């Protein structure tokens, strides 16, 4: 059964626009709590977005790690743009939930709204679809992507095409 669901998720991920879909065991994720420093001292959105670790009541990266330990597997999606990656992750979460994996949970930069309502100090417009990014949960995205052979590099200038 498990192998069947993996194949289906991988197939659906590609159909949803992912360039790569990689299965992993949860203990293969690379974590580094320094991701929190990059959010705190490097992100202009700190304290604004509803999915940020800076929001009141938000989990801290080291708290996510404990929760993620209850999972056994997941998939990494690689897409050409943030919107495709986010939407595919959410759609796969929904598919897995409907398939009986009721604790399925997607991560990905939230792209449900043109501008996050948090910037206007309003409640989240799409709490059903809002999801935190991998790095805000303490996952070292660079080390994890490299571990699975996915393309990733530090951008050298603004406007360069990104992988998601």
Q: What is the C-alpha separation between 157 and 153, in angstroms, rounded? A: 12
Count CA within 13 A, CB hemisphere, residue 49. 21
Taking residues 33-40, what's their average pLDDT? Answer: 89
* Torsions phi, psi for 22 (to 5 deg): -120, 125
Average pLDDT over residues 76-92: 92
Q: Say which residue the tokens 């580094």 belong to.
A: 32
Residue 164: partners with Cβ closer than 8 Å, 6 or more residues away = 77, 78, 79, 80, 81, 82, 84, 85, 86, 108, 109
Q: What is the pLDDT of residue 124?
A: 85
**Tens digits of residue pLDDT in 49-76:** 878 888 888 899 999 999 999 999 999 9
Dihedral angle computed from the Cα positions of residues 7, 81, 86 and 39, in that order, rounded to the nearest 10 degrees: 120
Q: Residue 92 pLDDT > 90, yes or no?
A: yes
Which residue carries 């991560």 as its tokens? 107
Residue 1 has pLDDT above 70, yes or no: no
Mean pLDDT value across residues 115-130? 85
Would you say 105 and 112 are in contact if contact means Cβ atoms under 8 Å apart? no
Tell me if residue 117 falls in helix, strand or coil: helix
Gap between the Cα atoms of 155 and 164, Å rounded = 12
Predicted TM-score (pTM) of the model is 0.88
Q: What is the mean pLDDT of the chain?
A: 89
């Amino acid at each position: 059964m498990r192998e069947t669901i993996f194949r289906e998720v991988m197939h659906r991920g590609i159909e949803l626009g992912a360039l790569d879909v990689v299965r992993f065991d949860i203990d293969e994720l690379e974590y580094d709590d320094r991701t929190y420093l990059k959010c705190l001292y490097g992100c202009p959105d700190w304290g604004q977005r509803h999915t940020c670790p800076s929001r009141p009541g938000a989990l801290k990266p080291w708290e996510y790690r404990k929760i993620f330990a209850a999972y056994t597997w997941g998939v990494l999606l690689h897409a050409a743009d943030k919107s495709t990656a986010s939407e595919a992750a959410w759609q796969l979460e929904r598919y897995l939930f409907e398939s009986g994996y009721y604790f399925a949970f997607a991560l990905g930069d939230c792209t449900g709204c043109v501008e996050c309502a948090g910037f206007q100090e309003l409640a989240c417009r799409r709490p059903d679809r809002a999801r935190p990014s991998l790095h805000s949960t303490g996952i070292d995205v660079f080390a994890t992507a490299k571990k699975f052979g996915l393309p990733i590099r530090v951008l050298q200038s603004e406007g360069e095409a990104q992988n998601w």
